[in-house]
């Protein structure tokens, strides 16, 4: 299967426009990289992918292969149609922002997923505030019975990927999370590039 391949550089974001029926493959090129993923209904983003509504419709915390992902108005917007990882993803953790890095002890400005979301959409002339909760692809946030969350290194191996199908015309925003303080992007705490393949319709 061939398609148009592009790269989201480590720590940055990009937006991709998909027509209904088209697919986008997000490749964990080097392994261990979390990819914050959002989607808005084209063209203006008045309706958007909602993790709260997705969890409600699916009755689970993490989508599985074949599941639809829902908007804030409870319509399917994306569908998880391929997943070569072990299915470890997260819908609970907010996108990182400047304040998160300060909370973790960082002094000064730091690249972050919220800024990446705004910048990527800004290139398309779209504003969307506040930043919705992302689908955190490849992110390992296990929970225990008492509700405690852990931030573990992403187990995604090099070349493993996820493919999302657009159920409607959509703008998909991806951020190769720049987190280098907690170990979510691997024990080395070094964010890496991810490759994206636009596959068109099957």
Q: Minimum distance from CB of 49 to Zn ion (Å)?
A: 17
Outline where 59-170 has alpha helix (H): 98-103, 113-122
* Strand runs labelled E in the chain: 4-8, 13-18, 23-28, 35-41, 68-70, 76-83, 135-137, 160-166, 170-176, 194-200
Name the strand (E) or helix (H) holding 102: helix 98-103
Between 173 and 177, CB nearer to Zn ion: 177
- CA 115, chain centre distance (Å): 14
Q: Minimum distance from CB of 80 to Zn ion (Å)?
A: 21
Q: Minimum distance from CB of 150 to Zn ion (Å)?
A: 17
Between 68 and 92, CB nearer to Zn ion: 92
Cis peptide before 130 (omega within 30 of 0): yes
Q: Minimum distance from CB of 66 to Zn ion (Å)?
A: 27
- Binding stretches for Zn ion (CB under 5 A): 96, 113, 177
Report how far apart, in Å, the C-alpha atoms of 144 and of each of 61, 87, 93 are.
13, 18, 15
Between 33 and 50, CB nearer to Zn ion: 33
Between 11 and 45, CB nearer to Zn ion: 11
Q: Minimum distance from CB of 185 to Zn ion (Å)?
A: 9
Task: Report the alpha-carbon distance of residue 87 to residue 25 in Å, rounded.
Answer: 15
Q: Minimum distance from CB of 172 to Zn ion (Å)?
A: 16
Between 113 and 131, CB nearer to Zn ion: 113
Q: What is the DSSP letter of 149?
A: B
HSE at residue 165, side-chain half, CA atoms within 13 A, is 14
Between 170 and 177, CB nearer to Zn ion: 177
């Amino acid at each position: 299967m061939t398609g148009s391949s592009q790269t989201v550089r480590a720590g940055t974001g990009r937006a991709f426009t998909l027509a209904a029926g088209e697919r986008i493959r997000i490749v964990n090129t080097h392994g261990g990289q979390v990819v914050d993923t959002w989607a808005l209904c084209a063209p203006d983003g008045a309706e958007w992918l909602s993790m709260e509504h997705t969890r409600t419709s699916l009755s689970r915390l993490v989508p599985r292969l074949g599941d639809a992902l829902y908007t804030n108005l409870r319509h399917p917007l994306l569908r998880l149609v391929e997943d070569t990882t072990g299915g470890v993803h997260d819908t609970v953790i907010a996108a990182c922002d400047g304040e998160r890095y300060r909370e973790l002890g960082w002094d000064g400005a730091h690249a972050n997923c919220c800024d990446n979301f705004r910048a990527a959409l800004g290139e398309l002339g779209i504003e969307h505030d506040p930043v919705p909760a992302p689908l955190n692809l490849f992110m390992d946030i296990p929970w225990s019975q008492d509700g405690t969350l852990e931030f573990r290194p992403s187990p995604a191996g090099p070349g493993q990927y996820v493919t999302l199908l657009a159920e409607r015309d959509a703008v998909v925003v991806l951020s190769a999370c720049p987190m280098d303080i907690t170990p979510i992007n691997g024990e080395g705490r070094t964010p890496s590039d991810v490759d994206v393949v636009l596959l068109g319709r099957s």
